[in-house]
Amino acid sequence: MKAVSFYTLGCKLNYAETASLERQFVDRGFSVVPFDQQSDVCVVNTCSVTGRADRECRQIIRRALRTSPEAFVIVLGCYAQLAPEEIASIDGVDLVLGASEKFRLFTYTPEEFAEGNFSKLPSPKIFVSPIDEVTDFGIAYSGGVDDRTRAFLKVQDGCDFNCSFCTIPLARGKSRSQAIAASVQQARSLADMGYKEIVLTGVNVGDYGKHDGNSLLALLRSLERVEGIERIRVSSVEPNLLSPQLLEYWLASEKVCKHFHIPLQSGSDRLLRKMRRRYTAAAYASLIQTIKEKNPDAGIGVDVIVGFPGETGEIFEEEYGFLHALPVSYLHVFTYSERPNTPSAEFEGRVEPRVRYSRSEMLRTLGYKKKHAFYATQVGRSLDVLVEGTVEDNMLSGYTDNYVRVRLPYHPSLEHSIARVRLEKVAADACIGSVEDADVLSTALPFLPVVSSEVEQ
């Protein structure tokens, strides 16, 4: 059988789009194999948020060629849109597809593909439209056969914000959204496949529907009526787009998870202005405080950029103090890197790389402490955990509604279920819990196979 392997870099949106591409290959008779196994075709879905992402992409392409020297290599996604010639110059690449073309991948493959001939091309082919011409949305949702627990559903793409550090508008174009009816239909399909949770993904999900007279609030109301979907998680929402009406509905909803991922980027108003962000540090802090007052157990994640031009030692101390005081659950820390064709690449006040990395480590340590402290507040509570199917050291794991990772002893009846679990203690990366429903565990435990501790979560 024809074999294809995939490697995805970057965000949840990329993973949803890769899953859509996988289905296109499967529909054409391909088997999807792990990336480290030999295949006829290798597809690399790229990211270009940071310079490190670019470097990693080049390494992944070379790794694919070491595993499958004769494989037909297709590179697509954000890095492909921004630097197609650079990718095409990597020895072994056959096809480079941009933001619009990736959704019609088989339109650009050689005719011999249909006959099972995947011979490498004499020279790479590039198909990349100018980003201002890209209007395709590209239906995408994850739905593999390995784990029927959580699925990513793409509802929005592109961004109109034009932050001074960001390449996303250059790589994905203007903000556009999928119709509510289409999103609901895809959610129903995922429910029919056995998924209990959907994660709404996009570049700027809070901007959903603004060009179509719709809104994220209207989308959530419609998705909440889909039978079989028990949880709706929003991947991220900008603080200036989390309106009082949206927040009120979110916190009152029976299905929308009490988990907020709200990008901050900087705790300094001076840097927020240079970044072209649309809020102040005080407004952000007020929003977080409002959420915690209404629901003290809500999980809140924060994106922050370290080493942005103009970040002096004094400003970093201000930012650190601001983050330290915020009652949030975890931090996603990004080390700033200059991106071509972005305004900030030309800003004065460049921070030395070694200083950037040192400050990033300080904030990652702070983030770990915040997560541990938040997990500790949940100990003693009984919470519903959506249990995944991966077994590690004879333990299962899953997440609560408010995004606490929980590990619990293996039992076959728990896989892909929502179980009531009492959180007993905090371990290194999770809370340890025990199932409260004795009926669920009434059957005898089967013989447990030896499971490698290296299984990916």
Distance of CA 125 to the CA centre of its chain: 29
Are 300 and 416 in a shared domain?
no
- Is the domain of 234 the same as that of 328? no
Q: Determine, yes or no, domain membership for 215.
A: yes
224 and 183 in contact (C-beta within 8 Å)? no
CATH of the domain at 142: 3.30.750.210
| Number of independent structural domains in the chain | 4
Do 289 and 213 fall within a single domain?
no
Q: pLDDT of 124-139, one tens digit each?
A: 999 999 988 887 787 7
The CATH number of the domain holding residue 100 is 3.40.50.12160
173 and 252 together in one domain:
yes
The reply to whether 457 falls in a domain is no
Cα–Cα nearest to 239, from 200, 199, 288:
288
Asked whether residue 359 carries a pLDDT value surpassing 90, the answer given is: yes
Could you tell me if 7 and 125 lie in one domain? yes
Q: Does 450 map to a domain?
A: no
Final residue belonging to a domain, choices 94, 114, 130:
130
pTM equals 0.89
**Do 383 and 389 form a contact (C-beta atoms < 8 A)?**
no
Instruction: For the chain, give the mean pLDDT.
Output: 90
Asked if pLDDT for residue 437 goes beyond 80, the answer is no
pLDDT of residue 135: 79
Average pLDDT (83-111) is 91
Q: Is the pLDDT of residue 444 over 50?
A: no
pLDDT of residue 451: 34
Q: Are residues 414 and 362 in the same domain?
A: no
Residues 115 and 212 in one domain: no
In this structure, the strands spanning 156-157 and 176-177 are antiparallel
Domain assignment present for 206: yes
- 176 with 68, same domain: the answer is no
Residue found under tokens 């570049």: 203
Asked whether residue 448 is domain-assigned, the answer is no
Calpha distance 46→61 (Å, rounded): 10
Angle at 238 between CA 232 and CA 244, to 5 degrees: 75
Residue 454: inside a domain, yes or no?
Answer: no
Domain end, chosen from 82, 101, 130, is at: 130
Average pLDDT over residues 21-41: 92
101 and 157 both lie in a single domain: no
Tokens 């924060």 sit on residue: 302
HSE value, Cβ hemisphere, 13 Å, CA-based, for 230 = 14
Residues 229 and 320 in one domain: no
pLDDT tens by residue, 322-341: 999 999 999 999 999 999 89
Expressed as residue numbers, the domain containing 421 is: 382-441
Three-state DSSP class for residue 234: strand
Domain boundary among 130, 164, 186: 130
Residues 275, 349 share a domain: yes
pLDDT tens-place string over residues 383-410: 999 998 778 889 999 999 999 999 999 9
What stretches of 273-428 adopt beta strand conformation (E)? 299-306, 330-335, 382-387, 395-400, 405-409, 418-426
**Phi/psi of residue 263, each to 5°?**
-60, 135
Q: What pLDDT score does 73 carry?
A: 95
Number of other residues whose CB lies within 10 A of the CB of residue 450: 7
Query: What is the predicted pLDDT for the residue at 143?
Result: 67
My answer on whether 149 and 185 are in the same domain is: yes
- Judge whether 372 lies within some domain: yes
